[in-house]
Amino acid sequence: GDSVTQMEGPVTLSEEAFLTINCTYTATGYPSLFWYVQYPGEGLQLLLKATKADDKGSNKGFEATYRKETTSFHLEKGSVQVSDSAVYFCALMEAAGNKLTFGGGTRVLVKP
């Protein structure tokens, strides 16, 4: 079945540092890929998405590129802020489907 694997956290870094969170997936066909973010005590929010190979999703300084050849969708941000401290989830949705399959989540802590 479909699955998503992302790097385990926590990831601790200083403000203005570069952030990368690795995400790889296994799926049949051509899924859509997503990054969701969960701030403390809140539900998940869509951060960005990509629907086909080589698409780049971007939002709030975060970017991720759909790499079909490596089945990856790594999340990056060039300069993190304390407010980026959260748990980040990579997820996929089957091409003809309607449900999200999530990775295990990566906790990111940004220190001033």
Q: Which of 27, 75, 86, 101 binds another protein (CB under 8 A)?
A: 101
Give the integer Cα–Cα distance in Å for 110 and 81: 6
Enumerate residues 6+ apart whose C-beta is below 8 A from 60: 47
Contact stretch for another protein (CB under 8 A) within 7-15, 16-24, 44-52, 74-82: 44-52
Question: What residues have CB less than 8 Å from 11, skipping those under 6 apart?
Answer: 19, 21, 106, 107, 108, 109
- Considering the complex, what minimum distance in angstroms separates the CB of residue 62 from another protein? 16
Q: Does residue 84 belong to the site contacting another protein (CB under 8 A)?
A: no
Output the CA–CA distances (angstroms, integers) from residue 38 to 16, 45, 68, 107, in the order listed. 20, 6, 26, 9
When asked if residue 17 is in the footprint of another protein (CB under 8 A), the reply is: no
Residue of 9, 24, 72, 102 interacting with another protein (CB under 8 A):
102
Binding residues (CB under 8 A) for another protein: these are 32, 34, 36, 41-46, 49, 51, 89, 93, 98-105
